[in-house]
Chains A and B, each alone.
Chain A
């Protein structure tokens, strides 16, 4: 069956450019999460959506990062004026509802490289 998909799988950009990363969650999953996996920081939470609302944005590292979700489905993470420290793998996950006992299903990630 269809899992969580992310696009692009790889993105190379120049410092200062804006990038958009896309996540398609599993159909029917109301909760959606973005995480970042980087060498120095491990796996870090970025933002959580319940439906189209983001009740927890506490992990976004700066105001250059933003995310939205539309139709309770697709989500886009936008990074403005990218910096080299933004280089990481960005992971998206979805679950039936934003509760601890609901398993999170992860996408394959988008590897972002900022030159």
Chain B
């Protein structure tokens, strides 16, 4: 079945460091891909998405490119801030086309000043 695999955390970085969180997926067909973020004490919110191969999603300085050939959707940011500390979830939509999401395990990012 469809699944998402994320790199295990926690990831600890200093402010202004470069961030990469790896995400790979297994899917039938051509799913849409998402990154959701959960800040401390807050609900999940959509960070960015890509709906087809080679699309790049971007928001708040974060980027991810839908790579069909490597079945990947890695999250990157050039210069992280303390306020980026959160749990990041990679997800894809189920092929049933109901919008139901299949999530990775989540990666905790801690950014130190």
Q: Given the complex, which residues of B lie within 8 Å of A97, measured CB to CB?
A: 99
CB of A103 within 8 Å of the partner chain? yes
Tell me if B100 counts as interface (CB < 8 A to partner A). Answer: yes
Hey, what's the 0/1 contact readout for B25-62 against A, CB within 8 Å counting as 1? 00000011000100000111110010100000000000
Closest residue to A107 on the B side, CB-wise? Answer: B43
Q: How far is the CA of A33 from the CA of B36 in the complex (A)?
A: 16
Return chain B residues, CB-CB under 8 Å to A93: 44
Report whether B96 and A56 are in contact in the complex, using a CB–CB cutoff of 8 Å: yes
- Kindly state the separation between the CA atoms of A12 and B91 in the bound complex, as whole angstroms: 30
Interface residues of A (CB under 8 A from B): 3-4, 31, 33, 35, 42-45, 48, 50, 55-56, 91, 93, 95, 97-109
**Interfacial chain A residues near B103, Cβ < 8 Å:** 35, 42-44
State which residues 67-113 of B face A: CB under 8 Å.
89, 91, 93-94, 96-106
B side interface size, CB within 8 A: 25
Contacting B98 at CB < 8 Å: which of A43, A44, A50, A107? A50
Q: How far is the CA of A79 from the CA of B92 in the complex (A)?
A: 27
A-B contact pairs, 10 of them (CB 8 A): A31-B98, A35-B103, A43-B91, A43-B106, A48-B99, A56-B98, A93-B44, A95-B99, A100-B51, A104-B99
* A108 contacts across to B, CB distance below 8 A: 42-43
* B102: min CB distance to chain A, Å: 7
Q: Are B105 and A42 closer than 8 Å at their CB atoms?
A: yes
A103 to B89, CA, bound (A): 15
Q: Are B32 and A100 in contact (CB under 8 A)?
A: yes
Known contacts A42-B106, A100-B31, A100-B93; is-contact A106 B44 (Cβ 8 Å):
yes
Q: Which residue of B lies closest to A56 (CB)?
A: B98
Q: How far is the CA of A45 from the CA of B92 in the complex (A)?
A: 12
Which B residues lie within 8 Å of A44 (CB)? 103
Instruction: Kindly provide the distance from the CB of A111 to the nearest chain B CB, expressed in whole angstroms.
Output: 12
A30 to B: closest C-beta gap in Å: 11
**Residues from chain A with Cβ under 8 Å of B45 in the complex:** 105-106
Task: Collect the chain A residues with CB atoms within 8 Å of residue B99's CB.
Answer: 31, 33, 48, 95, 97-100, 102, 104
